[in-house]
């Protein structure tokens, strides 16, 4: 009974203390928006966290919640209006539009495709011809094997000689064990391999076929939202652009912001990744985020030819630069 009384008294005290603590109030006078990521937070998203941490969204009168997609697909979340903005990929936007989901890409996060096929140097894989007889670790993307088949066909290599290992997601725990070569984003896994002293042979997709120098990732919204909230979308993109421009100019400080916002990330991996991506976000473009019609058109044509989409897609409706700051 004595113990029970003590517990009851402690409970009352804790309740009183909790009641006295000042609860955070929602931001007043700010328009609330949702931004859904494509995956778990990483350096592709640094500019978004910078925009939030440094108050760029607030300066535009916005209160932006950065969310992860959970069990749903970001394209569906944005397409149904449950999130005003999202992070996706050019191929996903094309596929969605071919299925009458009116997504629109409003900015390229990275100007060129920084992904490609990677293998340990000890594997002897130096070209697409060397893929024959090897195990490919696949993450089961709809266009993934079609791209691999095209690359091998261009090199006069037999795609059927590759053994596809499905459901391979973690590069470092599987490469050289479950699979001989895998598709990686160099700005994340490639630079981390360098940091760990792991020697790779890396074949960039953009160097093997220009059609595969597409935009990945991109920031998306829906036609309906943009038509009804054009000025809000411009404010949102002004803040996002400012976040990525800061990340380009101050990669070390931007890395610290991402690490603070997402403490479960490996700080050293974030730092080396930011040093790489700071040069790639804008690359050779006139400004961050701009997209070119020819990049969209050639990948749309390729996807249609490969029967990855049931109907072709109108390039002019799939993307726009209109919401980027006009400066």
Identify whether 153 is part of a domain. yes
Per-residue pLDDT, averaged over 173-193, amounts to 97
* 197 and 121 in a common domain: yes
| Model confidence pLDDT, tens digit, residues 259-302 | 999 999 999 999 999 999 999 999 999 999 999 999 999 999 99
Residue 83 has pLDDT above 80, yes or no: yes
End-to-end CA distance of the chain: 73
pLDDT digits (tens, 9 = 90+) for 104-118: 999 999 999 999 999
Q: φ, ψ for residue 181 (rounded to 5)?
A: -145, 150
**pLDDT category of residue 64 using cuts at 50, 70 and 90:** very high
Assess whether pLDDT exceeds 80 at residue 78: yes
104 and 219 part of one domain: yes
> Which CATH number belongs to the domain containing residue 204 in this structure?
3.40.190.10
Same domain, 219 and 310: yes
In tens, the pLDDT along 135-155 reads 999 988 889 999 999 999 999
User: Taking residues 190-207, what's their average pLDDT?
Assistant: 97
Domain boundary (159, 191, 212) is at: 212
pLDDT at 24: 38
**Residue at token pair 């804008």:** 282
Query: 167 and 78 in one domain?
Result: no
HEC string of the chain equals CHHHHHHHHHHHHHHHHHHHCCCCCCCCCCEEEEEECCCCCCHHHHHHHHHHHCCHHHHCCEEEEEECCCCCCHHHHHHCCCCCEEEECHHHHHHHHHCCCCEEEEEECCCCCCEEEEEEHHHCCCCHHHHCCCEEECCCCCCHHHHHHHHHHHCCCCHHHCEEECCCCCHHHHECCCECEEEEEHHHHHHHHHHHCCCEEEEEHHHHCHHHCCCCCEEEEEHHHHHHCHHHHHHHHHHHHHHHHHHHHCHHHHHHHHHHHCCCCCHHHHHHHHHHHCCCCCCCCCCCECCCHHHHHHHHHHHHHCCCCCCCCCHHHHECCCCCCCC
Residue-range definition of the domain harbouring residue 259: 31-111+215-318
**The pLDDT of residue 77:** 95
The reply to whether 13 falls in a domain is no
Give me the number of domains the chain comprises: 2
Whether residue 225 is found in the same domain as residue 154: no
The verdict on 256 and 130 lying in the same domain is no
Q: Pick from 212, 238, 260: which residue ends a domain?
A: 212
Q: What is the pLDDT of residue 7?
A: 30
Question: What pLDDT, on the 0 to 100 scale, is given for residue 5?
Answer: 33
- Look at residue 22 and tell me if it is in a domain: no
Long-range contacts of 140-146 (CB under 8 A, 24+ apart): 140/166, 140/167, 141/91, 142/91, 142/95, 142/308, 143/91, 143/303, 143/306, 143/308, 144/183, 146/306, 146/308
| 24 within domain boundaries | no
Query: Of the residues 151, 177, 212, which one is the last residue of a structural domain?
Result: 212
Q: Is residue 165 part of a domain?
A: yes
Domain assignment present for residue 23? The answer is no
Both 60 and 145 in one domain: the answer is no
Average pLDDT, the chain: 91
**CA distances from residue 319 to 12, 85, 173, 305 in whole angstroms, order as listed:** 58, 14, 37, 20
Q: Is residue 226 part of a domain?
A: yes
**Parallel, antiparallel, or unpaired for β 135-137 and 62-67?**
unpaired
Is 192 found in the same domain as 58?
no
Per-residue pLDDT tens for 113-134? 999 999 999 999 999 999 999 9
Q: Can you give the pLDDT at residue 141? A: 85
Quote the percentage of the chain above a pLDDT of 90: 87
> 138 and 93, same structural domain?
no
Model confidence at 28: pLDDT above 90: no
Residues 292 and 272 grouped into a single domain:
yes
**pLDDT greater than 50 at residue 8:** no
pLDDT(221) > 60: yes
> Do 146 and 283 belong to one domain?
no
205 and 257 in a single domain? The answer is: no
pLDDT value of position 159: 97
The answer to the question of residue 310 being in a domain is yes
């Amino acid at each position: 009974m004595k113990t029970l009384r003590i517990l009851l008294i402690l409970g009352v005290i804790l309740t009183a203390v909790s009641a006295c603590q000042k609860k955070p109030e929602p931001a007043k006078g700010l328009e609330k928006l949702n931004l859904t990521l494509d995956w778990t937070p990483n350096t592709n998203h640094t500019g978004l966290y910078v925009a939030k941490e440094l108050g760029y969204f607030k300066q535009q009168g916005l209160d932006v919640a950065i969310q992860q997609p959970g069990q749903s697909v970001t394209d569906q979340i944005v397409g149904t209006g449950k999130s005003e903005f999202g992070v996706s990929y050019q191929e996903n936007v094309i596929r969605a539009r071919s299925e009458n989901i009116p997504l629109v890409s409003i900015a390229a996060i990275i100007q060129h495709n920084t992904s490609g096929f990677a293998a340990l140097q000890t594997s002897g894989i130096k070209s697409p011809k060397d893929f024959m007889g090897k195990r490919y670790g696949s993450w089961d993307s709809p266009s993934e094997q079609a791209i691999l088949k095209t690359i091998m066909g261009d090199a006069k290599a037999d795609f059927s000689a590759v053994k596809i290992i499905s459901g391979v997601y973690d590069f470092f725990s599987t490469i050289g064990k479950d699979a001989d070569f895998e598709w990686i984003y160099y700005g994340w896994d490639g630079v981390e391999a360098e940091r760990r002293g792991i020697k790779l042979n890396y074949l960039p997709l953009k160097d093997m076929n220009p059609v595969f120098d597409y935009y990945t990732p991109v920031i998306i919204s829906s036609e309906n939202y943009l038509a009804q909230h054009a000025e809000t979308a411009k404010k949102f993109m002004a803040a996002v652009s400012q976040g990525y421009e800061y990340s380009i100019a101050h990669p070390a400080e931007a890395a610290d912001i991402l690490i603070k916002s997402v403490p479960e990330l490996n700080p050293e991996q974030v730092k080396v990744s930011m040093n790489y991506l700071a040069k790639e976000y804008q690359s050779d473009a006139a400004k961050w985020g701009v997209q070119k019609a020819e990049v969209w058109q050639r990948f749309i044509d390729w996807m249609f030819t490969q029967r990855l989409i049931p109907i072709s897609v109108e390039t002019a409706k799939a993307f726009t630069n209109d919401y980027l700051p006009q400066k």
